[in-house]
Amino acid sequence: MSDPASSWSRDAAQAIYETPLMDLLFRAQTVHRRNFDPNTVQTSKLLSIKTGGCAEDCAYCSQSARNGSQLSASKLIEVERVITEARKAKQGGATRFCMGAAWREPKDRDMDALVAMVEGVRALGMETCMTLGMLDDSQVLRLRDAGLDYYNHNIDTSERYYSEVITTRTFADRINTMNRVQDAGIKVCSGGILGMGEAAQDRVDMLVTLANMRPAPESVPINMLMPQEGTPLADARPIDPIEFVRAIATARILMPKSYVRLSAGRSEMSTELQAMCFFAGANSVFVGDTLLTAENPEEDSDAILFEKLGLQAETSASLS
């Protein structure tokens, strides 16, 4: 969470982003060490509880019904299946279980099942996170009362660039849901995707928006676009890896107490790039073989990576 008395200006954040890389990494690592154990990484597992057929038109997403992809729409999966998957994730060492549904917003008829999922996963002693699209006040309160720890609602990019990526909702819609969630006392997980054709200024603006929330999101996923066939961004030019590292380091400096999650796109990253991202302040990853629809490194390769870098997974006991 950021200092309530201060807020970041776009110019100050841009200056950080453009700092000579060695200085930027040193500063980010210094901030990181002040706030976290530098050799510990939080691990989350993500399960798609409803896939495909989404009414939104996010240009990066193969789950949008408007993107002409081959992904067919599924129904909301059964509560028992979710609990079984969460139990497996816990046995595999994950401390947080994230449940994602490809919806513009949940229907009220889905709420009983969603509440049962949150209660069931929490009963296993795991943190819960959901991403369900936009929420109204009563939906937020039901999820809060069920014990939902985190709500994921990415802002994706800057306000300026938003309409280049999504036209079926506005940046303000996104912020409104996040405000509702925070007002109810649920922690927010929010970040974005890099490599969608945005300028460096858009990356910085996105991070400034997040850092200036009160509080800043407790969890900040930074994704590298994994171009999906059939989507408008299928042929997007990949982001320069050093630019990606700069964004991670800037996120760490702007949001010293937030978990910065290296998210989608990790399967395309070398060990060296991931190591640089951890040094720049990333301290959370998704484990498992799928990230909704994008590939994620297999758990075994994560174990090798952690071993090589001397990293350890955060345990439930170390969560406060």
* Annotation: binding site for [4Fe-4S] cluster: 54, 58, 61
Q: Which of 27, 96, 98, 252 is catalytic?
A: 98
d(CA 142, CA 146): 6
- 277 belongs to the catalytic site: no
Query: Contacts with ligand SF4 in 92-121 (CB under 6 A)?
Result: 102
Q: Which of 27, 129, 180, 252 is catalytic?
A: 129
Q: Does 133 bind ligand SF4 (CB under 6 A)?
A: yes
Q: Does 232 bind ligand SF4 (CB under 6 A)?
A: no
Beta pairing partners, 291: 294
Pick the stretch among 61-69, 90-98, 115-123, 203-211 that binds ligand SF4 (CB under 6 A): 61-69
Q: Which is nearer to ligand SF4, 72 or 91 (CB)?
A: 72
Q: Which is nearer to ligand SF4, 195 or 281 (CB)?
A: 195
Q: Does 56 bind ligand SF4 (CB under 6 A)?
A: yes
Near ligand SF4 by CB under 6 A: residue from 41, 47, 61, 206:
61
Instruction: Supply the residues annotated as catalytic.
Output: 54, 58, 61, 98, 129, 189, 261
Would you tell me which residues interact with ligand SF4 (CB under 6 A)? 54, 56, 58, 61, 63-64, 102, 133
